[in-house]
RNA sequence: GACCCCGUAGCUCAGUCGGAUAGAGCAACAGCCUUCUAAGCUGUGGGUCGGAGGUUCGAAUCCUCCCGGGGUCGCCA
């Protein structure tokens, strides 16, 4: 099925026949940058040269001579200095992808590479003490796309949001809400919001929306701050869930930290103690994370007897481990990278496989407008909300911008560019290609010249632009599985952009609906196949594929 | 101070488990619409890959040091 696999197998066979076998040599087959270097290439001769102490070009020549591949698969094999073996694919194998894609439809690009292994993905997980901010939108984009990629690659996935609805921060949230209630009833004289931890105006809204009887009770201190905090965090969590839903971010569960207290937290503590991974010092209990590579031991129970946040996090991850996922992927914000070694250490202490917990760092997002950073409002606690960004630029643009870059790199989000509904905006470039194809198909149908999809003769497709486009289509599945394995969504945006380019070039060079019916039918099918792949790529990104623009 | 991330074209960034002449988008300039969407296509200019060493057939990629930017270092969450 996959041409690469056939080529790898043929190279392996050629090595055996030529007596060039060397254990542990990886037969890499990659796409050369230069089209002149063929469609696929292997540097394996150069790897072997080192081991066998022979001239790499000579080895490459022996491989090229010994490789045996069907002529309808590979048209040319060439050994080139300094020692590459280049393969030029035969037209038939490229042409066959067109009907194959049309037959597969939305399944094209999917694979069973994951073999049903299960991966749990935890993402966003922002505290329910305020509205979601920009970096959460980025995490939501990246996490969703990784889930889509894993699903497409045959993994069983589970998406989860960890809600820190417990502890001092919730009490502080309650106190801040109480102040806003006092303000509502004109009883806040002599106090200022500056004294409180959560000065954002959203608590004013929550205090204002509560019914009067309830809100008046909040003024009395018989209502505990923790209770008030739970009220506020529930309201905030509800709005977070709405935001995530509107953004198209999938969550199978919202896991509440509060459900871990006290039993699961105690159980995690007991396990670490029983495993001999703890010691007491200054009245506190420490987890010896340095034994697992952390640079400092970490407190898990404070001198006052309370568990730390870290211990609850360990309990949470122990819960995940007990659920039996083959792997857990967690997205963390840029201010949390210090947590990685200690969390890895804790999982090791609990007996997880070394690579069981995989952490992906999501980089900072800086909003830029007119070339300058957007300054946060002067009022403390007011951040740019995710909701504002979405209202401003739309879901598609926001997601695409976040997925264009590597997840862990800092990102300047150019609002000025994102707002432009023009050719300067990269989102529209890809969407436009899809809309353009839809339009051409409509045109052909209106003229009554649109044959049924997949019935054409693909051997009509011989132009260089047609060949280049088919080659791109052929590479989609390996792009998807590679992006899934590497957890790198930006590979899909890069691919989508390249595919759009290949299509636009084809469109300009080749008239689709033309004089020759057989050629028109073949080109229309090529356009349809391109549309399928663009749609599948955009689906993975969570971005819509419009039929007209 | 220790540790982590980053430094590639004017701007934003790909390329980083070592591979061929370092790429894309935007910006600049010059062309292309009487026929399927010009949100498109074609071309031009633009680089000591932060710097200096090292490893080797080969380094943007790996190692060391330095410079610059950001971050983390709590019995907070």
Residue A33 (CA) to nucleotide B18 (C1'), in angstroms, measures 16
ipTM of this complex prediction, to 2 decimal places: 0.94
Residue A341 (CA) to nucleotide B1 (C1'), in angstroms, measures 21
Pick out the nucleotide with least CA–C1' distance to A168: B77
Cα distance between residue A108 and residue A60, in whole Å: 34
C-alpha dist (Å) from residue A352 to A297, A314, A356, A450 = 19, 12, 6, 57
Q: Which residue has the tokens 């806040």?
A: A188
Residue A146, both tokens: 């990784």
Q: Which residue has the tokens 């073999």?
A: A115
Mean pLDDT of A448-457: 88
Residue A536 (CA) to nucleotide B16 (C1'), in angstroms, measures 28
Does residue A105 belong to any structural domain of this protein? yes
CB A57 within 8 A of CB A45: yes
B73 C1': nearest CA residue = A338
Compute CA A130 distance to the chain's CA centroid, rounded to the nearest angstrom. 24
Residue A344 (CA) to nucleotide B61 (C1'), in angstroms, measures 27
Spell out the SS3 assignment of A426-469: HHHHHHHHHHHHHHHHHHHHHCCCCCCCCCCCHHHCCCHHHHHH
pLDDT in tens, A510-533: 999 998 999 999 999 999 999 999
Domain count, chain A: 2
Does residue A202 belong to any structural domain of this protein? no
pLDDT of A13 over the 70 cut: yes
pLDDT of A50 over the 80 cut: no
Residue A361 (CA) to nucleotide B24 (C1'), in angstroms, measures 25
The more confident residue out of A468 and A413 is A468
Of A30, A57, A89, the domain-final residue: A89
Of A89, A122, A138, the domain-final residue: A89
Rounded to two decimals, what is the model's pTM?
0.94
Cα distance between residue A200 and residue A184, in whole Å: 15
Pick out the nucleotide with least CA–C1' distance to A429: B39
Does residue A495 belong to any structural domain of this protein? yes
Does residue A8 belong to any structural domain of this protein? yes
Do A10 and A62 lie in one domain? The reply is yes
Do A43 and A105 lie in one domain? The reply is no
CB A523 within 8 A of CB A510: yes
Instruction: Domain of residue A490: give its range.
Output: 97-112+422-541
pLDDT of A379 over the 60 cut: no
Spatial strand order of the sheet with A84-89 comes to A40-42, A84-89, A74-80
pLDDT of A271 over the 60 cut: yes
Report the percent of chain A where pLDDT is more than 90. Answer: 67
Do A20 and A59 lie in one domain? The reply is yes
Whichever domain contains A108, its CATH number is: 1.10.730.10
| pLDDT at position A221 | 85
CB A145 within 8 A of CB A105: no
pLDDT in tens, A134-182: 889 999 999 999 999 999 999 999 999 999 999 999 999 999 999 999 9
| pLDDT at position A381 | 47
CB burial of residue A385 (10 Å; 0-12, 13-18, 19+): buried
Do A438 and A515 lie in one domain? The reply is yes
Residue A307 (CA) to nucleotide B5 (C1'), in angstroms, measures 30
Q: Which nucleotides of B are covered by protein (CB under 7 A)?
A: 2-6, 12-15, 19-27, 35-42, 57-58, 70-77
Residue A528 (CA) to nucleotide B5 (C1'), in angstroms, measures 43
Pick out the nucleotide with least CA–C1' distance to A281: B75
Mean pLDDT of A34-59: 83
Do A50 and A101 lie in one domain? The reply is no
Mean pLDDT of A426-438: 93
B38 C1': nearest CA residue = A423
CB A307 within 8 A of CB A300: yes
Highest mean pLDDT among A193-207, A304-318, A420-434: A304-318
Best CA proximity match to A403, nearest among A277, A276, A494, A312: A494
Do A435 and A531 lie in one domain? The reply is yes
Tally Cβ neighbours within 10 Å of residue A389.
24
Do A40 and A108 lie in one domain? The reply is no
Residue A485 (CA) to nucleotide B76 (C1'), in angstroms, measures 35
Pick out the nucleotide with least CA–C1' distance to A432: B39
Does residue A34 belong to any structural domain of this protein? yes
Does residue A457 belong to any structural domain of this protein? yes
C-alpha dist (Å) from residue A148 to A151, A310, A366, A529, A536 = 5, 30, 26, 21, 11
Pick out the nucleotide with least CA–C1' distance to A303: B75
Residue A365 (CA) to nucleotide B66 (C1'), in angstroms, measures 29
| pLDDT at position A24 | 62
Mean pLDDT of A369-378: 63
Pick out the nucleotide with least CA–C1' distance to A524: B36
Residue A332 (CA) to nucleotide B39 (C1'), in angstroms, measures 35
Q: How confident is the model at residue A128 (pLDDT cuts 50, 70, 90)?
A: very high
pLDDT in tens, A323-340: 999 999 999 988 888 888
Pick out the nucleotide with least CA–C1' distance to A309: B77
Do A21 and A75 lie in one domain? The reply is yes
Best CA proximity match to A252, nearest among A333, A161, A348, A140: A161
Pick out the nucleotide with least CA–C1' distance to A84: B20
Kindly provide the b/e burial profile for residues A513-526, where b requires at least 16 CB atoms within 10 angstroms of the residue's own CB.
Answer: beeeeebbbbbbbb
Of A33, A56, A89, the domain-final residue: A89
Residue A138 (CA) to nucleotide B32 (C1'), in angstroms, measures 39
pLDDT of A456 over the 60 cut: yes
Pick out the nucleotide with least CA–C1' distance to A509: B41
| pLDDT at position A376 | 53
Pick out the nucleotide with least CA–C1' distance to A169: B77
C-alpha dist (Å) from residue A398 to A64, A71, A133 = 48, 46, 13
| pLDDT at position A378 | 40
| pLDDT at position A22 | 60
Cα distance between residue A295 and residue A289, in whole Å: 8
CB A365 within 8 A of CB A407: no
Mean pLDDT of A77-103: 93
Residue A441 (CA) to nucleotide B37 (C1'), in angstroms, measures 12
Q: What is the mean pLDDT of chain A?
A: 90
Best CA proximity match to A42, nearest among A93, A18, A6: A6
Mean pLDDT of A77-102: 92
Q: Where are the alpha helices (DSSP H) in A210-248?
A: 212-218, 225-247
Cα distance between residue A544 and residue A285, in whole Å: 51
Q: Which residue has the tokens 């623009």?
A: A549
Compute CA A181 distance to the chain's CA centroid, rounded to the nearest angstrom. 41
Does residue A78 belong to any structural domain of this protein? yes
Q: How confident is the model at residue A212 (pLDDT cuts 50, 70, 90)?
A: very high
Cα distance between residue A244 and residue A222, in whole Å: 35
Whichever domain contains A23, its CATH number is: 3.30.1360.70
Looking at A144-274, which runs of residues are DSSP E strands?
Answer: 156-163, 253-256
Radius of gyration of chain A (CA): 29
The secondary structure element, H or E, covering residue A89 is strand A84-89
CB A168 within 8 A of CB A180: no
| pLDDT at position A273 | 96
Report the percent of chain A where pLDDT is more than 70. Answer: 97
pLDDT of A380 over the 50 cut: no
Do A7 and A82 lie in one domain? The reply is yes
Do A24 and A107 lie in one domain? The reply is no
Residue A497 (CA) to nucleotide B25 (C1'), in angstroms, measures 10
Does residue A52 belong to any structural domain of this protein? yes
Spatial strand order of the sheet with A253-256 comes to A253-256, A156-163, A118-122, A327-332, A357-361
Cα distance between residue A540 and residue A549, in whole Å: 21
Residue A89, both tokens: 């694919």
Q: How confident is the model at residue A377 (pLDDT cuts 50, 70, 90)?
A: very low
Tally Cβ neighbours within 10 Å of residue A344.
21
């Amino acid at each position: 099925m996959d041409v690469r696999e056939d080529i790898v197998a043929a190279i392996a066979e050629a090595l055996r026949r030529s007596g060039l076998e060397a254990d542990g040599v990886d037969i890499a087959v990659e796409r050369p940058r230069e089209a002149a270097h063929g469609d696929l290439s292997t540097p394996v001769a150069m790897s072997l040269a080192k081991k066998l102490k022979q001239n790499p070009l000579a080895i490459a020549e022996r491989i090229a001579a010994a490789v045996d591949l069907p002529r309808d698969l590979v048209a040319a094999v060439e050994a080139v200095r300094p020692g590459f073996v280049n393969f030029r694919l035969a037209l038939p194998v490229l042409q066959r992808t067109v009907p194959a894609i049309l037959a597969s439809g939305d399944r094209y690009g999917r694979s069973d590479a994951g073999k049903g292994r299960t991966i749990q993905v935890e993402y966003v997980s922002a505290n329910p003490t305020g509205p979601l901010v920009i970096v959460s939108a980025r995490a939501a984009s990246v996490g969703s796309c990784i889930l889509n990629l894993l699903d497409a690659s045959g993994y069983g996935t589970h998406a989860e949001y960890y809600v820190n609805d417990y502890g001092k921060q919730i009490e502080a949230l309650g106190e801040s809400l109480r102040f806003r209630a006092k303000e509502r009833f004109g009883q806040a004289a002599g106090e200022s919001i500056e004294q409180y931890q959560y000065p954002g105006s959203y608590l004013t809204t929550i205090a204002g929306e509560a019914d009067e009887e309830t809100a008046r009770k909040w003024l009395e201190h018989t209502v505990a701050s923790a209770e008030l905090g739970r009220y506020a965090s529930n309201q905030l969590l509800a709005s977070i869930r709405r935001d995530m839903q509107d953004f198209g971010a999938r969550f199978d569960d919202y896991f509440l930290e509060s459900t871990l207290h006290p039993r699961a937290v105690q159980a995690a503590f007991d396990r670490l103690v029983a495993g001999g991974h703890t010691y007491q010092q200054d009245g506190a209990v420490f987890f010896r994370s340095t034994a697992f590579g952390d640079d400092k031991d970490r407190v898990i129970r404070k001198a006052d007897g309370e568990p730390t946040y870290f211990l609850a996090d360990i309990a949470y991850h122990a819960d995940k481990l007990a659920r039996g996922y083959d792997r857990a992927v967690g997205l963390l914000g840029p201010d949390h990278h210090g947590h990685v070694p200690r969390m890895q250490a804790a999982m090791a202490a609990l007996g997880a496989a070394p690579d069981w917990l995989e952490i992906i760092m999501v980089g900072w997002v800086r909003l830029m407008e007119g070339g300058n950073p957007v300054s946060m409002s002067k009022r403390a606690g007011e951040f740019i909300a995710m909701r504002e960004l979405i209202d401003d630029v739309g879901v598609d643009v926001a997601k695409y911008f976040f997925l264009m870059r590597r997840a862990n790199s800092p990102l300047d989000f150019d609002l000025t560019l994102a707002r432009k509904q023009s050719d300067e905006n990269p989102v529209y470039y890809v969407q436009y290609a899809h809309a353009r194809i839809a339009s051409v198909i409509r045109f052909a149908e209106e003229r009554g010249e649109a044959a049924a999809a997949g019935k054409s003769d693909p051997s009509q497709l011989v132009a260089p632009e047609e060949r280049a486009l088919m080659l791109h289509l052929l590479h989609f599945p390996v792009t998807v599985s590679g992006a899934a394995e590497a957890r790198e969504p930006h590979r899909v945006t890069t691919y989508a952009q390249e595919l759009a380019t290949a299509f636009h070039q084809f469109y300009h060079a080749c008239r689709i609906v033309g004089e020759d019916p057989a050629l028109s039918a073949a080109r229309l099918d090529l356009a349809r196949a391109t549309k399928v792949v663009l749609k599948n790529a955009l689906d993975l990104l969570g971005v819509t594929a419009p039929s007209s623009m």
